[in-house]
Structures are given as structure tokens and as C-alpha cells.
Amino acid sequence: MKGLFVTGTDTNVGKTWVGSKLIAELVERKIQLRARKPIESGWPVAEKVTETDAWKLSEAMGQTDSLDLICPNRYAAAISPDRAAMFEGDTITLEQLKQDCLNGLNDNDFLYVEGAGGFYSPISHDGLNADLPVSLNLPVMLVVEDRLGCINQTLLNVEAIKAKGLKLHAIVLNQPNVIPEDIGMDNLSDIQKRVDCEVISFVFNQDNTLSIMQLADIILAKQ
């Protein structure tokens, strides 16, 4: 099966922001893509549904699937999904999330799955985010917030991904804030020489067209 599992070094590192741009580029290239965020916590009241990760993935995909198909498990508490589900009397299993990801897929579809939180964050009653791409047999893209300290976080995640027997197709450094030029930090170069996959840089609120195209090229070349 063609596809990709997107995870991060932590929550709020830009998985959905980066992923939405990648999805839109793949759809523009006529890839039959199906985006899935099988579980999301912190789900707001109805009038703010456009603020959810699942909605943003749907928009990038062209709203070809319903929100119920993209994200069937939605919980109000802004905590780990398994605990948010527990507060509402639900028990979510890894097998259930796997089937939710596969629901509605055709044989030639590209399955794009976004996790919830970091790679080792709990995602179900019986599993971590790390276990979902294993069950789906999907390669991984790792999103990292480009800041001081991220080299350590990145390399720890790379080791964890390898330990699970998963293929890491790309690392995306997401820079949400402008880094002062005089600080001398170059996380892109420092990470790239320590890993065996491509490292791509995104800068928030800037033109990332070339980075998006390069990332899409990498992902498609490795399918």
C-alpha cells in the first residue's frame, strides 16, 4: 500500500501545517490521496470545527471525504487521545484506529495518516503513535520544530523509528519563528550529517513552494 505516516517530536510542532501543504501538492499532482487523522482530542464546539487538524487536512485534500471518515474519533479534552476518550466512556484500540484509517480506501489510493502528538505519545488504550504505522506498514515523515535543542529530540526520534523497523522517508524542520542570524545555529546542516534521509526546511508565513515540491518529490520517489 502506498502512503505515509506523519509524526512529530512533540505536540504542536507543525504536523498539520506542513502536512496540509504536502497533501495539497500531492493532490495537485493527481495523486489519489486519502487523508486520515483517526483520533483527535481537543475537539471544539461545532462552530469552531474549522480550527481542527482534521478539517485542515480535509481542506487540503479538497473535501473529497467527510470529516466522519477522516476523523471518526473526536474528543473534547485537550489531552492525550486515549485519556480524552476515557473521560467520555470510550476505549479506543489500536486495531480500531487501523481499521478507521483503511475505511473508504480503494486499491490505488495513497493513504496519508497523521498521528496525535509525538511518536511515543499514547494514541489508544493499547498502543502508542509508534504502533500505528507498524500496524499499517507505512513509512514515516518526522516533523520537528526548528529551535535550540531540537537536534537531540530529532536523533532520539530517529532511533525510535528505526527500532520499530519503520522506514523514515524525510525529516521536516518547521521554523515557526525567525531565528536571529547572529545566533549561529544551523540545525538543518547539523541534523542532515547525522541521518540517512533528507532533511527539508519550512519557514512559517514565508514562501515554501520549493521546499514543498522537494518534499513531495522525495515522498513519491520512495513509494
Q: Which amino acid is at 66?
A: S
Cα gap 124→84, rounded to integer Å: 10
Residue-wise burial string across 121-140, b where 16 or more C-beta atoms lie within 10 A, e elsewhere: bbbbbebbbbbbbbebebbb
Beta bridge pairs of residue 8 = 118, 143
**37 catalytic per annotation:** yes
Residues 6+ away with beta carbon under 8 Å from 192: 198, 199
Contact 140, 5 (CB under 8 A): yes
Q: Which of 2, 15, 30, 37 is catalytic?
A: 37
Query: Looking at the annotation, which residues are catalytic?
Result: 37
